[in-house]
Amino acid sequence: MVKIENRALNFIVLIEQDEDGIYVAKVPDIVGCYTQGKTVEQAMERIKEAIWVCLEADEEEIIPLKFIGVQQLEVMA
């Protein structure tokens, strides 16, 4: 278990909306860390909880990556 001492950790949270209108929040730096909510605010509150659960369960220290940017790319299928 990772011991988290009094320090701030900053994670990028990606928020997407599915076909049913539900907001899905994901943390790319933590494998398997995601949740959902009916509103963006609800998804953000839930992802905070999910981050803590993931940090407590992980055996290695998770070091957030430096955020550079987000781009959307369209690919014709």
The pLDDT tens digits for 32-53 are 999 999 999 999 999 999 999 9
**May I ask the CATH class of domain 14-57?**
alpha beta
Asked whether 35 and 43 are in contact (CB, 8 A), the reply is yes
At which residue do the structure tokens 């994901």 appear? 26
* pLDDT, mean over the chain: 88
Q: How far is CA 24 from the centre of its chain?
A: 9
Mean pLDDT of 52-67: 82
Give me the helices (H) in 14-72, please.
40-57
- The C-alpha atoms of residue 49 and residue 37 are separated, in whole angstroms, by 13
- Measured in Å, how far apart are the chain's first and last C-alpha atoms? 43
Question: What local confidence, expressed as pLDDT, does residue 3 receive?
Answer: 53
Q: How far is CA 19 from the centre of its chain?
A: 20
- The C-alpha atoms of residue 74 and residue 1 are separated, in whole angstroms, by 40
pLDDT at residue 55 above 80?
A: yes
